[in-house]
Amino acid sequence: MELLSPLVPILIIVIKSGVAIFALVTAFAYAVWIERRVMARMQSRIGPNRAGPFGLLQPLADAVKVLLKEEIIPQDAKVPIYLLAPAVSLVPALLSFAVVPIGPEIEILGQKITLYLADLNVGVLYVFALASVGVYGIVLAGWSSGSKYSFLGALRSSAQMLSYELPLGLSVVGALMLAGTLSLVQLVEAQKNAWFILLQPLGFLIFIVSAVAEVNRAPFDLPEAETELVAGYHTEYTSIKWAFFYMAEYINMIVVSSIAVTLFFGGWQGPFFPPAVWYFLKVAAFIFLFIWLRATLPRLRYDRLMQFGWKILLPLSLVNIIATAAIMVWQG
């Protein structure tokens, strides 16, 4: 036992990573189920209710179906990149969850275990860095498919994601200034007395709008506008490779919700329930918001989308930073 003790921290990290990935993939499956059920209700339909009680086994059925689909590689595809692109879009999505704290330290079998994989000094920047790497998955998928629809979808998405990364990054600066840190763990601690949504309402508003655009969800789902681009960048993908893009989208949605919760809604903090439950409830509320938006709002036109990002959101986020700085100096 004594000999093995240096291995324990490594073992803990490996187990935690495994649990995190498993949880994310499960959350993805049930986010899809919730989306289909909730949207069906909103549109006066019933939604999937055949597989298991309330259709709860539907994700399992979908997974089997997707795995058994035929793999098709288009004739004009640039094969190595065509095969790489789905992984390039999924892996950053999974990795960015590593810094999200879902609770304070707990003790299991005498070992102190933190409920996050890493407390980085540059936590928020790490998430944004991975988000910007994730763009490559979409760009490469569109380019390597050898199809006009895919390519147009990819071009749109890269322009859109680049444009909305700016307001997304700047909108959180106000909260970061108040907390004086980039570490997500310390950001949660800084909100012990007041959630930052109360101090940074404008910052939060800009953040959530940009976040919807950044994860390519309706009403900003231009990259896969089915009425004009078939399915955008993943038109030519089939089977499990297609499922990877789907997973990336939903896991990105979960990560963005987690960041919103951590930066503006006090993270895992809350009365009565255990911290992890609070974290889960808050993220679930955000997922519901994303679904609600999709069921409610029509898609924007592309030029309007770009104008909105550059001419409204970006200046507003700069104003928010200056105002926050001014108030902080004024209050000492």
Which residues in the 28-87 window bind another protein by CB under 8 A? 81
What would the DSSP string read from start to end of 221-264?
Answer: -GGG-HHHHTTGGGTT--HHHHHHHHHHHHHHHHHHHHHHHHHH
3-class secondary-structure state, position 16 = helix
Nearer of residues 140 and 300 to another protein, judged by Cβ: 140
Instruction: Tell me 101's DSSP state.
Output: -
91 binds another protein (CB under 8 A): no
Find the shortest distance in angstroms from Cβ 181 to another protein. 8
H/E run at residue 139:
helix 123-144
Nearer of residues 81 and 295 to another protein, judged by Cβ: 81
The Cα–Cα gap between 258 and 287 comes to: 10
Q: Decide the pairing of beta strands 111-113 and 106-108.
A: antiparallel
Find the shortest distance in angstroms from Cβ 140 to another protein. 8
Q: 17, 132, 238, 239: which one contacts another protein (CB under 8 A)?
A: 132
114 binds another protein (CB under 8 A): no
Which residues in the 202-221 window bind another protein by CB under 8 A? none
Nearer of residues 73 and 81 to another protein, judged by Cβ: 81
Residue 164 and residue 210 in contact, taking contact as beta carbons nearer than 8 Å: yes
Instruction: Tell me 107's DSSP state.
Output: E
Nearer of residues 181 and 238 to another protein, judged by Cβ: 181
305 binds another protein (CB under 8 A): no
53: left (phi over 0), alpha (psi -120 to 50) or beta: beta
Nearer of residues 288 and 310 to another protein, judged by Cβ: 310
139 binds another protein (CB under 8 A): yes
Binding site for another protein (CB under 8 A): 81, 120-122, 125-126, 128-133, 135-136, 139-140, 143, 151, 154-155, 158-159, 162, 165, 169, 181-183
